[in-house]
Amino acid sequence: MKNRIVIKSSKAGMTVILDPECSFEDLIGELAAKFKDSARFWGNAQMALLLQGRELTAAQEMQIVNTITENSGIEVLCLLDQDLDRVERCEKALNQKLMELSERTGQFYRGDLHRGESIESEASIVIIGDVRHGARVTAKGNIIVLGELRGSVHAGAAGNQEAVVAAMEMAPLQIRIADVSCHYGDKGRKLGKGPMLATVENCSICTKVIKKSFLNMLNFN
DSSP 40-88: HHH-S-EEEEEEESS---HHHHHHHHHHHHHTSS-EEEEEE---HHHHH
- For the chain (221 residues), the mean pLDDT of every run of 10, in chain order, is 80 82 93 91 80 87 90 79 56 59 62 92 87 94 90 94 90 94 80 82 86 48 43
- Give the CATH architecture of domain 5-80: 2-Layer Sandwich (3.30)
Return the sign of the alpha-carbon dihedral for residues 102, 107, 111, 113.
Answer: negative
Q: Which residues is 154 bridged to in the sheet?
A: 138, 176
Q: Is 107 within 8 Å of 127 (Cβ atoms)? A: no
pLDDT at 97: 58
Query: What is the radius of gyration, based on Cα positions, of the chain?
Result: 19
Report helix angle 24-37 to 58-70, nearest 10: 30
| Alpha-carbon distances of 132 from 28, 121, 184, 206, rounded to whole Å | 41, 18, 14, 21
Domain boundaries, the chain: 5-80, 84-217
pLDDT at 92: 61
Fold of 84-217: Pectate Lyase C-like (2.160.20)
pLDDT at 106: 46
Q: Name the pTM for this structure.
A: 0.53
pLDDT at 216: 47
pLDDT at 8: 87
pLDDT at 42: 84
Q: Which residues is 69 bridged to in the sheet?
A: none
Q: How many CB atoms lie within 10 A of CB 192?
A: 20
